[in-house]
Chain A
Amino acid sequence: MRVKAKRDLLSLGACLLLYAIIQLLIEVDVIGQFWVLNIVLIGINIILGVSLNLINGFTGQFSIGHAGFMAVGAYVGAVMTVKLHLPFIVAILAGAAGAGILGFAIGLPTLRLSGDYLAIATLGLGEIIRITILNIPYVGGASGLMGIPRLTNFTWVFFATVFTVFFIKNFINSSHGRACISVRENEIAAEAMGVDTTKYKVMAFTIGAAFAGVAGALFAHYFYIVHPASFTFMKSFDLLTIVVLGGLGSITGSITAAILLTFVSAALAGYPEMRMVIYSLMLIGLMLFRPQGLFGNKEISLKFFNRLKGGSPRDAA
């Protein structure tokens, strides 16, 4: 246990160091506006990828409606600051709560479905959320909600990302997390061992949705405007690509894939069609040749590097 706590502190220290370096580079203008935008996007994509991985990768419930929860977080958060003039932190928490509550309400009935039926139901629900928002004049309907203050900056995104990753990592390493993994491995066996499968499926779904809400709120407060067209199921497929590329069941995989794909789409910003063709070929190629994704369900850690150097895995522990 103490070793684990020590390792957590070490990672936290590394995160703080990384934060200090990037923040310094932004302050002295080495990193320009364009790259700040991409760093913010990377953070948001990491939150979305890791939270979707909790549902798809760790609990094995194939959801492709994540953009819907992001939309709820974005709109609830934006309403908090634009209409009610509340502070930003309240907006983020409200976005998380809104998406989480909706995730719970949706998850409870739909998680009875499995496999491809669940996939198509979540896809449909994501679209229903978007169409509903489209028809609410209070939040601007089809033209979107405008005039959102830009409150998101690198600091907010960075610490929200670190919090998300630590929260989900610790959740997975807890008894709840192990129950979720058991549901993925074999639902019937898990049930026979006394795991309340419905409870854990809904729990994972709710947590995943809540963090998607956080990402949505951050997203809304960076781009001044939220628009229903930003949250179509294409967005969900983007997120799915992150999770699948990184490996279903690997947090570090999702982080790497989020960074990689954000850079790829930044590089291909001028050719949006090309980007989607590359994404699609990557999805097909991955499934044909490396269905477990870049990292499978392994994590990169110090242990992993030690093994690369030829040391035994026990040395690091």
Chain B
Amino acid sequence: MDSSSFLMQFAQQLINGVSLGSIYALIALGYTMVYGTIKLINFAHGDVYMVGAYIGFFATTVLGLGFLPALLLAMVGAGILGMFIERAAYRPLRNAPKIAVLITAIGVSLFLEYGSMLLVTPQPRTFPAVLSSTPIHIGGLIINSQQVLILGVSLFLMVVLTYVVNYTKLGKAMRAVSFDTDTARLMGIDVDKVISYTFAVGSALAAAAGVLVGVYYNSIDPLMGIMPGLKAFVAAVLGGIGVIPGAMLGGVLMGVIEALVSGFISSTFRDAAAFGILIIILLFKPAGLLGKNIREKV
């Protein structure tokens, strides 16, 4: 391989990586926001993403909706599901030991996976082609129009989220709760409500990612959420868990690394690379790239 074709392939993998990474970033945002407010790794988050993809699927096939209405419906549906999960499974354990909540989260995740297997059968479904896919040639590089769409929708959602978190009253409340829950409560913030909204927003973003993946890869199944869920979590840790820009950065980095590993080494090592990064990050910079180190106090 001479150097110019190497560069070409590198650039091509970079493009694929960024579009895949923006999906991870959308999922990672949910992890990071929930972790920021209640210090819980919401294992079920990847499965909310799966449910979002299924809502999108049924919205386009059964209801015959177009791409945007289906996306919105999936986001609303998953948002409600997220609030419900929080209300039913996590809120009763607000003061329980961390491990108990973690096990509950694993339980919710398994329940969503196998419950939906019962409901919609384990067979993969073909996502209808709601959008045409035309390759765009720029120089020697090929960009799929769907990749542009993925990137566009995720960027738009991230901008909206950044606006909500930084400039609205709800966002201010979210930041306050994540900074110090008890003080926020003393200031008259309805903490339970804010946590509930955090779950709704995070789940809606995951559902958007689910629909985008469905459109891009054309295939969805009840276990599709496991791997992207875990990788998005790694992305959140990579960027610094609890930090919103960190999740975006981590997600994109994660996608790029994965595309490079599958392009230049072997696609079978793709998943191992993700977990390898996680362990390296946890060992050397547990606070993540954009996180702050907090000392453990007695």
Contact = CB atoms under 8 A, between A and B. Distances in A.
Interface of A: 62, 64, 109-110, 112-113, 115-117, 119-121, 123-125, 127-128, 131-132, 134-135, 188, 237, 240, 244, 248, 273-274, 276-277, 279-284, 286-288, 291
B118 A283 contact: no
**Chain B binding surface, main DSSP class:** helix
A282 B114 CA distance: 13
Contacts of B118: 273-274, 277
Interface residues of B, number: 44
Contacts of B107: 280-284, 287
B114 A115 contact: no
- Among B107, B234, B286, max chain A CB count under 10 A is at B107
Nearest to B119: A273
A137 to B, nearest CB: 12
Contacts of B269: 131, 135
Contacts of A134: 268
B128 interface: no
- Among A113, A237, A283, max chain B CB count under 10 A is at A283
Nearest to B268: A135
Nearest to A126: B275
B106 interface: yes
30 contacts: A62-B99, A62-B102, A64-B106, A117-B237, A120-B230, A125-B279, A127-B272, A128-B275, A128-B279, A131-B269, A131-B271, A132-B272, A135-B266, A135-B269, A188-B298, A237-B110, A273-B117, A276-B110, A277-B111, A277-B114, A277-B115, A280-B108, A281-B107, A281-B111, A283-B107, A283-B110, A284-B111, A287-B103, A288-B104, A291-B97
Nearest to A234: B110
Contacts of B92: 288
Contacts of A277: 110-111, 114-115, 118
A162 to B, nearest CB: 29
A233 to B, nearest CB: 8
B89 A240 contact: no
A127 B98 contact: no
B294 interface: no
Enumerate the 9 nearest inter-chain pairs by beta-carbon distance, A residue then B residue, closest first.
A283-B107, A124-B275, A280-B110, A280-B111, A276-B114, A284-B107, A131-B272, A287-B104, A273-B117
